[in-house]
Amino acid sequence: MKRVSLALLALAAAAPLRAQSLLYRPPNLGGTWVPDPGVVQFNFVHRFYVAPGPSHAVVNFPNFTLVAGFGHQVAFGAQFATRSIVGLGNGAQSTNETEVYARWRLHGAEGQPGFAVAVTPAYNVLAKSVDGEVGVDWTQGPLTLHGAARAMSRRLGQSGNGATAFAGGFNARLNPYVGVSADVGSFVSPTVRAAWSAAINFLIPGSPHTFSFHASNATSASIQGASQGIASPKNVLYGFEFTIPLHLKRFSPWFHGSPKPVTLGAPAGASLAAQVDMASIKFTGETVTISAGQAVRWTNRDPLEHTVTFDGAEPGSPPIPPNGSYVHRFDKPGTYTYHCTPHPFMKGTVIVR
Ligand SMILES: [Cu+2]
């Protein structure tokens, strides 16, 4: 048991946070996070309430975020909400709220201890408002605390004057895969309800995806939308968020054909005794038998990365890119079972006599 939890901790410490993780951000705060260069992040928030009988109609509040990393800690993105409370006020012709934004993280990194600071200038198309947020978070062990100061030049839903708002929240990670979070956001001298949320967050093991179940009263995730809560006809919405990082280089086979072959591992002087292909997310030849001192070569025929990760103490491969190979020599007799870390259902065995 202890060994398992140590292994999980090691995994969590080693796994890079290339994706925006809901274990480090509560539902209604953008946080300080920017995607790595070449990564497009797609986050989907869906909230709803159920209308009273007899219709029991489900009324939906979908929100989409699409943001791309451009390097130098800079990201450009947009949020789109189809039923925004921002659009219910003065001057709104629609409830379709679009906010385009940039984010520059001046300091810190997601998942690292200490402070991170980011500025997020934005333009709310529905409100015709120049908005902005300064976000700060602080991580220590299982806890991340968040604060944000917001300003907008033309607040929709009210007189159209400018406004300022503040928000705060936290994430508490119970283990590397499960956490809880909550936040509040409110205009200064509010005439509308403050926004709030509470969530349970999950990292899906072996994947870059996180999701959360939440309760909240905010109808959109924009700077304006996350600063006010819906009051009628319901004041609690339930929902979820799912985060999907798209590594653009993953799509390079669409445009560039097969990538160049590379060989990893490749211990000198090893005689190759077996070849295992990784194809269609399977190890072909699930069991191979060799003699001590001989080597096995794995070749990745899939358009995505795989690993050869041994279940025992034997050191395994780094991520093997498409068209890449990995060669490993086995010096001691034994039965070596292994799997692929991103696809744990991929399994194989090497028997060394
Ligand atoms: Cu795999």
Average predicted confidence (pLDDT) for the chain: 86
What is the mean pLDDT of the segment spanning 338-344? 91
What is the C-alpha to C-alpha distance for residues 208 and 15, in angstroms, rounded to an integer?
9
pLDDT for the residue numbered 13: 35
Could you tell me the distance, in angstroms and rounded to a whole number, from the CA of residue 342 to the centre of ligand 1?
A: 5
The confidence score (pLDDT) of residue 338 equals: 96
Distance 158 CA to ligand 1 centre (A): 52
- Ligand 1 midpoint to CA 38 (Å): 22
CA of 69 to the centre of ligand 1 (A): 25
Q: CA 131, CA 121: separation in Å to the nearest integer?
A: 6
The residues, any chain, with a CB within 8 Å of residue 4's CB and separated by 6 or more, are: none
String of DSSP letters for 280-349: TTEESSSEEEE-TTEEEEEEE-SSS-B--EESSSS----PBPTT-EEEEE--S-EEEEEE-SSSTT-EEE
pLDDT band at 100, cuts 50/70/90? very high
* pLDDT, average across residues 81-92: 68
| pLDDT reported for residue 307 | 94
pLDDT band at 38 (very low <50, low <70, confident <90, very high): confident
pLDDT at 149 over 60: yes
Here the tokens at position 43 are 């986050």
pLDDT tens across 262-289, in order?
778 876 677 889 999 999 889 998 899 9
First vs last C-alpha separation in the chain: 31
* Cα of 324 from ligand 1 centre, angstroms: 13
Using pLDDT thresholds of 50, 70 and 90, give the confidence band for residue 128.
confident
Give CA separation, 5 vs 8, 11, 245, in Å.
5, 10, 27
Q: How far is the CA of 263 from the centre of ligand 1 (A)?
A: 17
When pLDDT is cut at 50, 70 and 90, the band that residue 1 belongs to is very low
CA dist., res. 41 & res. 246, Å (int):
6
346 Cα: distance to centroid of ligand 1 (angstroms): 6
**Under 8 Å between Cβ of 283 and 346:** yes
Tens of pLDDT, residue by residue over 164-191, are: 999 999 999 999 899 999 999 998 877 7
The whole model's pTM is what? 0.69
Rounded distance, CA 323 to CA 162, Å?
55
**How far apart, in whole angstroms, are the C-alpha atoms of residue 148 and residue 116?**
12
Cα of 244 vs centre of ligand 1, distance in Å, is 18
Number of continuous H segments (helices) and E segments (strands) in the chain: 2, 21
Q: Of 25, 31, 44, nearest to 179 (Cα)?
A: 25
Distance 317 CA to ligand 1 centre (A): 12
**pLDDT at res. 85:** 75
**Ligand 1 midpoint to CA 1 (Å):** 26
What span, in angstroms and rounded, lies between the C-alpha atoms of 93 and 112? 43
CA 170 – ligand 1 centroid, Å: 34
Q: How far is the CA of 336 from the centre of ligand 1 (A)?
A: 18
User: What is the C-alpha to C-alpha distance for residues 12 and 165, in angstroms, rounded to an integer?
Assistant: 35
Helix/strand/coil for 3: helix
Task: Judge whether residue 7 has pLDDT over 80.
Answer: no
- Residue 57 near residue 51, CB atoms below 8 Å: yes
Please tell me the predicted confidence (pLDDT) of residue 158.
Answer: 62
